[in-house]
Amino acid sequence: MFQDWYRNRRQDVTGWFKDLHRHPEVGFEETRTSAFVAQRLRDMGLEPVTGIAGTGVVATLHGTKGQGRTIGLRAELDALPMTEDSGLPYASTITGRAHGCGQAVYPHRSGWHGGCNFYHHRIRHRPHAAV
């Protein structure tokens, strides 16, 4: 299922990656990024909940075969307070902010039943503020 979806939208997904990379937002400031993610989830037919701990976004994809185990996919929204010097055509356009750790999605189990929960949140770089 995902392979077909991705194959048909690879150019779009690459554009999303480059757009987010060009416009990094550090923790507690990810308003553009959160809105971007929420809209992409809406475009996919999901109903995201926004404003979780400030800028977090959560959406659930329900399975078509009834209730069962649920997995979670977690992606971080925040950038690092550093200047990017990569020379890439999609490098950060904001001095002092960059997505320098690579983009990560972390699968984990959730206590919920029936599908996949998507968690998009800050903040890997300030543990006291983690969602």
Residue with tokens 């029936």: 114
Closest CA to 74 of 18, 130, 13: 130
How many other CB atoms are found less than 10 A from the CB of residue 37? Answer: 24
* Residue whose structure tokens are 């550093």: 82
In tens, the pLDDT along 77-87 reads 889 999 998 89
Q: How far apart are CA 66 and CA 28, in angstroms?
A: 37
**Mean pLDDT to the nearest integer, 25-42:** 94
Band of the pLDDT at 95, cuts 50, 70, 90?
very high
CA 89/CA 120 separation, integer angstroms: 26
% of the chain exceeding 90 in pLDDT: 44
> Which class in CATH covers the domain with range 2-129?
alpha beta
Distance (Å, whole) CA 39 – CA 19: 14
Domain residue limits, the chain: 2-129
- The reported pTM is 0.78
